[in-house]
Structure 1
């Protein structure tokens, strides 16, 4: 009786670990796509627009000693106000200056955006 329960427990834990691992891979894939758009931002056609920073999070992807961040910002694209997400690379001193409400410039392609990347963040008031 006890060995049967241990087998079921082991199978359950294994399945749980697989599910958690796959969710982590999916998140990294989404981050990778946003970072890819940032890296190729000079090679694709697009419009520049301004937005207002709402939130940010660090990705697991690094560029030398700097980290890529995904920024969520409010902007008007094609007459539609919304929250958009795009990548940028920041060093440690810039990260400490991030705060909600900062202005930023981003580049986008298409409406709704097929590609989008943060070009600049205005840390000065």
Structure 2
């Protein structure tokens, strides 16, 4: 997600390579944070934000009813952990596309479009994997 100096790495989710890079970078970041948390001397285990279904990562996105149905339909067969991870990625893609769009009126639609493309491609790729 970020390079050594803290700059955001470019991920072109319109290509399979960019999508793969985004997922791999996200998984590496999650693993790195979990490893770091496991190395701490605290007696309380770090919460697993990806295994709990209590918090909705899409809660403050301007989702339409059709968006919500589309997302639920796409992720319905995933495990809770994978579902939570993919929704975090969905949110990241949405917000990144919003930031890149300069026209205020088009921001929500740009985010919605890119996030839905990402989700559709990710799920299709999962279906192709044996």
TM range (shorter): under 0.3
| TM-score, normalisation: structure 2 | 0.26
Structure with greater helix share of residues: 2
| TM-score, normalisation: structure 1 | 0.27
Larger Rg: 1
